[in-house]
Amino acid sequence: MVISLSFIANVAHSLCLKNIESSDLMSKQVVFKDTDELIQIALDKHLGSQMRKGSGLKQVYGRYIYRVSLLDNKKIRWNVDFDAQTGEIISNMID
């Protein structure tokens, strides 16, 4: 999918994006994996977990990273980081 300006505004508002300029996304026509799919992958890795604040998109050294922050049933906080363009899991670590 090609990212539209209204989509960027909605994502920025709902996920509290930091360090990413909407003009940067538009100029590069960045294509991201479906966030619902990435969230489901993270939840499947940590059965019984719930999403918590802190999930969102950021840019690190030119790579777009989507972080899913979870709290499992043992009250352990997890951060699962995905490459937002390929869906590759970059890290799956206790916070």
Q: What is the tens place of the pLDDT at every residue in 46-82?
A: 999 999 998 999 999 989 999 999 999 999 999 999 9
Domain boundaries, the chain: 5-94
Domain at 5-94, CATH class: alpha beta
Beta bridge partners of 74: none
Rounded mean pLDDT of 75-94?
A: 97
Strand duo 56-60 + 89-94: pairing? unpaired
Is residue 65 a contact partner of residue 84, using CB atoms and an 8 Å limit? yes
Nearest to 78 by CA among 56, 51, 44, 41: 51
Residue tagged 């869906």 (tokens): 87
Residue tagged 């970059």 (tokens): 90
Indicate the pTM of the whole model.
0.71
Please give the residue that has the higher pLDDT: either 47 or 12: 47
